[in-house]
Amino acid sequence: MEKKKSHFLRTVAGKTLLFVVINLSLIIGFLCVASGVAAVYEDIYGKTEDEYYALREEQSIQQLAVIDAYRLVTNQYNGIELMPLKITEPDGTLIAATPDFDMASESAGVSGKYQNYTLHTFRAQLICSPDGNISGIYGYTPYDAANDGVRDVEIQAYANSVTYNSYSYLETRGIHLIFSVRYLIYPVGIICFFLILASFIALMCVAGKHPGSETVTLGPLGKFPFDVLLIISLFAGLIAIFIADSVTGFLEAAFAALVVIVAVNGFLGLCVSLAARVKLKVLIKDTLAYKIIKLIGKGFKLLFRAILSIPVVWQVVVAMVVISFIELIVIAGSGMDRDVMSIGWFFEKLILCPVIFYIALMLKKLKTSGEKMAQGDISYRTSTKGLFGDFKKHADNLNAVADSVTIAVEDRLKSERMKTELITNVSHDIKTPLTSIINYASLIGNAEPDDPKLTEYSEVIVRQSEKLKRLIEDLVEASKASTGNLEIVPAPLDCCTFISQTAGEYKERLDGCSLTLVTTTPEESVMIMADGRRMMRIYDNLMNNICKYSQPGTRVYLTLEVIDGKAVTTFKNTSSAELNISPDELVERFVRGDQARNTEGNGLGLSIAKSMTELQGGTFDIAIDGDLFKVTLSFPVIV
């Protein structure tokens, strides 16, 4: 039901209804406020309607009596019929009286012309000049406090209440209506206020929306810039206020009310357009001022682009010419000694222009260097000869950037080359056992069931399958280690135990390779936080490499030291083959010191060891000195 109401308010009829409700509520609310103000001003809550008329009649008679008294004392009543009145001092001394006052006094309430007249008495003050002459009545004529004086007087006047009751029919009906609803105007006004507020909010909510669609669209007013509509609305409001302020008659009041209603509805339409523009987030963009500023901005942008398209040196020349021309105009228009100013201007330019041109030339050199680098010429270097200060620093920075780009390109090429070698090595290491498996499987298939070589063929297949299995397992483990997906369970471990355990496990194998192991460890325990299983894998990989690639008859050194709070384990051996490969390349996957790939292994040992060391918070370093191969493991010592 609520949705249907909301959709109805989005229709033209619904929006029109909201406009009507707002207009009616405004009119009734305005009448309530006006009636309330009038009721308070006229103090109608403390009297009846008859008492109100009697008070207004008395006030009207008093006002007319004071005016006639002023005319009487200043002799300004030629041709004007005054009401019967008499002015006396408080002690009864007569100051002035109309000729018919005594006649009215005798016949008032009895018979004759003044039969329906009654006596009214008022207090007033006369203004007296320094010579004692009466010049007016206080409150009706100008009063000079420094020179004039005042006299208290009493005004007695006879007046016919019917004659002075000049209320029109509309005034009478209006006063009667105010007395009838004087206690209802406040709740009605409050209700009208909330009706206006609710209707206005509803109108803002449905502004720009239509039934069955959530898309906001601008109405007819959307074709006009918002600031133009705002100015028109403000101008129309000022006209409505001016017309309403100059009302003197009923027809003028009706016309003024119509103009005000039109202005109010125009303001409502402006608010609806404002709400729709805010919802579409185009309020600022739809203003004429924004479009003008944007157009000016485009003009300045084109001007700046045109200026920037000029070479730097010529930009400086143009700038200096313009600045010099402006300075000359200022000198010519100033009241100072023009000859002295001109000489100073000349010497200033004599010193300043070469400096600025030299700076422009340095900027041009830096700009040329930047353009060369942007075009991809990374071999170009900026000459710092003739440059100084920040310009020289900037040139050095550009050269440093060029050097960095060169190194990055070389590293990229090296990485691409190593990736190519990786693919080649992987293909070779997988292809070799797989080819053997295929060939010997073919031989088994072609051999007789009782052929004694079947066992040999099967052993070869099993051996090559195991090699292929180890290769795949090592590859998976290397991938996990390098990506950090390997599970690590750190615990306090004694490095001395690892060295003694490694020495015991590999003694027989080292003896078989004619290698002599020399171990050196501290007397006290050296504790680190590491995963024991992963540490043994690291030691196994390094010792396997030593057994495979060491020169027979040489010594192998395995030492443990504590250096700067770190447990440093060093593996040293003499290589049997020439080490013409860098340490960084050795830790790449499927890279071996034996580049002919004639030995056992798959080139993953060092890569796995390095990744596992780093996953446990340690460092893994390789050093090559001739045929000496050294691996250093470093872990923080724990207490």
Contacting residues for 422 by C-beta, under 8 A, at least 6 apart: 588, 589, 590, 591
Contacting residues for 620 by C-beta, under 8 A, at least 6 apart: 587, 609, 610, 613, 614, 631, 632, 633
Q: How many CA atoms lie within 13 Å of 436's alpha carbon, on the beta-carbon side? A: 18
DSSP state of 371: H
Contacting residues for 386 by C-beta, under 8 A, at least 6 apart: 362, 365
> Which carries the bigger pLDDT value, residue 594 or residue 129?
129
Q: What's the pLDDT at 89?
A: 84
> Which carries the bigger pLDDT value, residue 619 or residue 460?
619
Q: What's the pLDDT at 338?
A: 58
Please, what is the angle between helix 312-333 and helix 338-374, to 10°? 160
* 86 close to 94: Cβ distance less than 8 angstroms: yes
In the chain, % of residues over pLDDT 90: 6
Summarize the confidence of residues 396-402 as an average pLDDT.
Answer: 77
Q: What's the pLDDT at 601?
A: 47
Encode 565-575: b = buried (16+ Cβ within 10 Å), e = exposed: ebbbbbbbbbb
* 32 close to 188: Cβ distance less than 8 angstroms: yes
* 138 close to 127: Cβ distance less than 8 angstroms: yes
Write down the pTM of the prediction: 0.41
The yes-or-no verdict on residue 603 having pLDDT over 90 is: no
Residue that the structure tokens 């200043």 belong to: 74
* 118 close to 84: Cβ distance less than 8 angstroms: no
Distance, in Å, from the CA atom of 503 to the CA atom of 518, rounded to the nearest integer, reads 9
The yes-or-no verdict on residue 639 having pLDDT over 60 is: yes
* 503 close to 598: Cβ distance less than 8 angstroms: no
Summarize the confidence of residues 157-178 as an average pLDDT.
Answer: 69
Q: What's the pLDDT at 591?
A: 43
Q: Which of 97-111, 215-229, 422-436, 482-496 has the lowest mean pLDDT?
A: 422-436
Using CB atoms within 10 Å of the CB of residue 304, give its burial: 0 to 12 exposed, 13 to 18 middle, 19+ buried.
Answer: exposed
Q: What's the pLDDT at 416?
A: 65
Distance, in Å, from the CA atom of 336 to the CA atom of 343, rounded to the nearest integer, reads 13
The pLDDT-based confidence of 568 (bands split at 50, 70, 90) is very high
Closest CA to 493 of 501, 483, 481, 485: 501
Summarize the confidence of residues 79-95 as an average pLDDT.
Answer: 83
